[in-house]
Structure 1
Amino acid sequence: MGVLTRRVPVARVGPALLCAAVLGALILFAAIRVDAPLLWGGLSLLTGGISVIALSRLALVRRESDRRAVTDGLTGLADRARFRETSRRALAGGERSGRLSAVLVLNLNGFKQVNDTLGDDGGDLVLVAFAQAMRASVPPWGVPCRLGGDEFAVVLPDLDFPEQAYDVAGAVTSVLSPVVVDGRLVPLAASIGIAVSGPGELTHDLLVHRADVAMRRAKRLGPQTRWAVWQESFEQDTPAAA
């Protein structure tokens, strides 16, 4: 295959080079004398610019890959790994600032029946609808997560009062309404457990345990959406998770 040569002024090549670098591919043929230091210097400057662009694109790709690695593929919410990381970071921040942290654990009511009746695809639509309701009701400083199956959670950092966590649970309750799946009206309800940690009081595992115990207590109250705040007495009379 022959090599095409063409003398091209660097000033004219520059924009083409930069544009082509953004698009991701470029073949440039130029005949430049070795004794033309100005042109070589110009090309060196251009290739430096291309390297910066390439590295910037690589950084964007890596950031997107990192985001997907901690995002639930079905709902787009944070996944269990990010939930754990965010909760631990919230507790550490609360210990430094003297503020409260809270975790909500949410479990859909009657989801097994939905899956049995409508199949996995119908169940997925219900999970997505629930995730959308969470996004609409969790404040910007909270992090809604899907832990797996029909179990969800919310991390609430930097609270001044426990009642702020209760308000979020109430907001989730208020936006849940039946959804239509394959022409059928499917109730959307959840049991919500709340646990709050003072500065340096609880570990991530203990905080989540308490929220889970409170969620199971709320589930015992009936099929409608209910929420409960962890109390010591719940540990004695709440059945262990299956």
Structure 2
Amino acid sequence: MSNENQAYITALLTIITDAIITVDQTQRITFFSQGAERTFGYQVTEVIGQSMSLLLPSRFVEVHREQFRAFAAGPEPTRLSFEIFGRRKDGSEFPAEVSLSKLSLNDQILFIIILRDIIEHKHAEEMLQLMAHCDSLTGLPNRTRFRDLLRQAVLAGQYENKSVALLLMDLDQFKEVNDTLGHDRGDLLIQHVGRRLKEVLRPTDTVARLGGDEFALILPLAEAGHATLVASKVLKALEEPFEIEGLPIAVELSLGIALYPEHGSNADSLIQRADVAMYAAKRSGSGYTLYTPEQDPHSPRRLALAGELRHAIDGNQLLLHYQPQVNMQTGRITGVEALVRWQHPQYGIVPPDQFILPAERTGLIKPLTQWVLKEALRQSRDWNQKGLPFNMAVNLSARNLHDSQLPDRIAELLEVNGMAPSFLELEVTESAIMQDQMCAKEILTRLSKMGIRLSIDDFGTGYSSLNHHPVNAIKIDRTFVRDMTENQNNAVIVRSIIDLGHNLGLEVIAEGVENHETWNRLLALGCDAAQGYYMSPPVSAQEIPCWMKESPWGLA
């Protein structure tokens, strides 16, 4: 080899960060690169002629020696990749990725080891795993991990023929803490609550944070008596005010209990029944309540539907109906609102009020909303291609306004369908916005900047601050519109909402218009658009073109 080539190879080996080591057939080290010196902490003079076992933890020496012998004896393969633990000069151990090759040189076998320290990679993997399963604020298991743990607890209960208890709880009036003291102090309170809950439970029990002010407790192999005892201990533990930056803050909570197998045979049914019990406790002010069927007279069907909803989303059982929205000045359709229905194989058409709320409480609202958006935009694209270019309105829930990935998913669906953002209108309720105004404002602002129209649904039933949210329209709640011709108070409310909306530069849409008299009254008040059975009930996508041709409200 020329001096020039030798210098080049030497320079190359100097800058390569991986450890490059060669050993002979007796597993003695014959070459040790500068990368190897940096990785193991040995100088080259300390290792040349030494056994490879110098670089391995003692407990792995024999295992790797046999692996090495087997590799040396076999004709194939000529390269082997695996992970090992290395040992540095100071005795510390680290995970490493190894590529082992064999090379015949002058009738001798030489083994080349390229080793990379992957401890940072392992730490990153562990961190990602932690982030995927742990709540970032409290370090407790998050909703995803909670569901896995609950399923495992139920399986253990089945195997051992034992009971399992699920306790769901949330803090009463927690929103007032955030509004009064700020979200930073609210976060501190949540952290303190999580720590105090862990102190109450056994090591075998689980505390999880499901989001917001919601927590869940899983008690494996626990009967009703033990579950109610734990509930009492939790209430007592949280009686003591929390001191947050010198301020004593008292919390109250509502807690619902459901038992396997008494109240449910799987994780989904337990969550639903514990949720029913929690709201029963909230209504009664009793602190905690053990589930009973009387708390939810429709529970058998409701729980069955909740358990089947995921299959319905994946199994093409959902469909959309569309209710036209009519411009009151032109008398022509300007858009439709997409309303989801469930074509259940046993119950027929299931209205949304029987599955939307359970979907919100079980986390299924995200895939459900994704399905509705995907189908609505696909249908809007088809109508546009047939010369029916009107807006498509889709409802969002409170949980959707906590989904930071929602704007990106909507942008992707718009692009896939070749639809301009201005054709999509997203409706959110006042109550959804009020649950977390800061988070709602962030999501709504991103959507607005994309060019999507935003409207506040059921306006007049809450206390939203229109000045702080980038909305284009408000929809007057049907409870005020429906009897405004007979109820003077409702008529005054409708007039005030129309005036308020126009003063803020917003379009005003009235829902629940069911007769000609109501239409005329709204028209006289200057309402911009209307929606209701007077113009059309919700109809299927197949019926819309026919309705457009035959209805006096069709496109101009």
Fold similarity call, TM over 0.5: yes
Matched, 1:128 2:191: yes
CA 1:234–1:135: 2 relative to 1, 3 Å: same
TM-score scaled by length of structure 2: 0.35
Taking CA–CA contacts closer than 8 Å with sequence separation of 6 or more, which of the two structures ends up with the larger relative contact order?
Answer: 1
Question: Of the candidates 111, 129, 132, which is equivalent to residue 69 of structure 1?
Answer: 132
Alignment coverage as a number of residue pairs: 222
Residue of structure 2 in register with 1:231 after alignment: 292
Verify the 8 A CA contact 1:191 1:215 in the aligned structure 2: yes
Give how far 1:181 is off: 2.1
1:59-96 deviation line (CA, Å, top 9, x unaligned): 66534432331100001111001111111121122122
Q: Distance in 2 between matches of 1:124 and 1:180?
A: 13
Matched, 1:148 2:148: no
Residue of structure 2 in register with 1:174 after alignment: 236
Q: Distance in 1 between matches of 2:123 and 2:137?
A: 22
- Structure 1 gaps of 5+ residues are 26-33
Q: How does 1:37-186 map to 2 (within 5 A)?
A: 40=110, 54=118, 61-159=124-222, 161-176=223-238, 177-186=240-249
Verify the 8 A CA contact 1:156 1:165 in the aligned structure 2: yes
Q: Distance in 2 between matches of 1:96 and 1:86?
A: 15
Verify the 8 A CA contact 2:170 2:214 in the aligned structure 1: yes
Give how far 1:236 is off: 4.2
Give how far 1:35 is off: 5.5
Residue of structure 2 in register with 1:28 after alignment: none
Q: Distance in 2 between matches of 1:163 and 1:134?
A: 19
Q: Which has the higher helix share?
A: 1
Verify the 8 A CA contact 1:91 1:200 in the aligned structure 2: no
Q: CA RMSD in A?
A: 3.6
Question: Of the candidates 87, 90, 93, which is equivalent to residue 18 of structure 1?
Answer: 87
Q: Distance in 1 between matches of 2:214 and 2:259?
A: 19
Q: Distance in 2 between matches of 1:174 and 1:10?
A: 69
Q: Distance in 2 between matches of 1:169 and 1:10?
A: 67
Q: Distance in 2 between matches of 1:150 and 1:104?
A: 14
Q: Relative to structure 2, which stretch is displaced further, 175-184 or 185-194?
A: 175-184
CA 1:198–1:236: 2 relative to 1, 3 Å: closer
Q: Distance in 1 between matches of 2:263 and 2:275?
A: 20
Verify the 8 A CA contact 2:263 2:270 in the aligned structure 1: no
Supply the AA of the counterpart residue of 2:288.
Answer: W
Q: Relative to structure 2, which stretch is displaced further, 128-137 or 163-172?
A: 163-172
Q: Distance in 2 between matches of 1:74 and 1:82?
A: 15
Q: Distance in 2 between matches of 1:194 and 1:129?
A: 23
Give how far 1:145 is off: 0.6
Greater C-alpha Rg: 2
Supply the AA of the counterpart residue of 2:204.
Answer: W
Q: Distance in 2 between matches of 1:85 and 1:171?
A: 25
- 1:152 alignment partner, SS class: strand
Q: Relative to structure 2, which stretch is displaced further, 213-222 or 194-203?
A: 194-203
Supply the AA of the counterpart residue of 2:253.
Answer: A
Q: Distance in 1 between matches of 2:49 and 2:150?
A: 54
Q: Distance in 1 between matches of 2:149 and 2:213?
A: 20
CA 1:58–1:212: 2 relative to 1, 3 Å: same
Q: Distance in 2 between matches of 1:144 and 1:100?
A: 18
Q: Distance in 1 between matches of 2:211 and 2:188?
A: 15
Q: Which has the higher strand share?
A: 2
Verify the 8 A CA contact 1:103 1:196 in the aligned structure 2: yes
Verify the 8 A CA contact 1:142 1:154 in the aligned structure 2: yes
Residue of structure 2 in register with 1:31 after alignment: none
Q: Distance in 2 between matches of 1:110 and 1:210?
A: 22
Q: Distance in 2 between matches of 1:135 and 1:179?
A: 15
- Percent of pairs with identical residues: 28
Give how far 1:206 is off: 1.4
Residue of structure 2 in register with 1:30 after alignment: none
- 1:158 alignment partner, SS class: coil
Supply the AA of the counterpart residue of 2:237.
Answer: V
Q: Distance in 2 between matches of 1:117 and 1:100?
A: 42
Give how far 1:205 is off: 1.5
Matched, 1:217 2:256: no
TM-score scaled by length of structure 1: 0.76
Verify the 8 A CA contact 1:99 1:199 in the aligned structure 2: no
Question: Of the candidates 192, 197, 220, which is equivalent to residue 255 of structure 2?
Answer: 192
Q: Distance in 2 between matches of 1:237 and 1:121?
A: 40
Q: Distance in 2 between matches of 1:156 and 1:91?
A: 10
Supply the AA of the counterpart residue of 2:87.
Answer: L
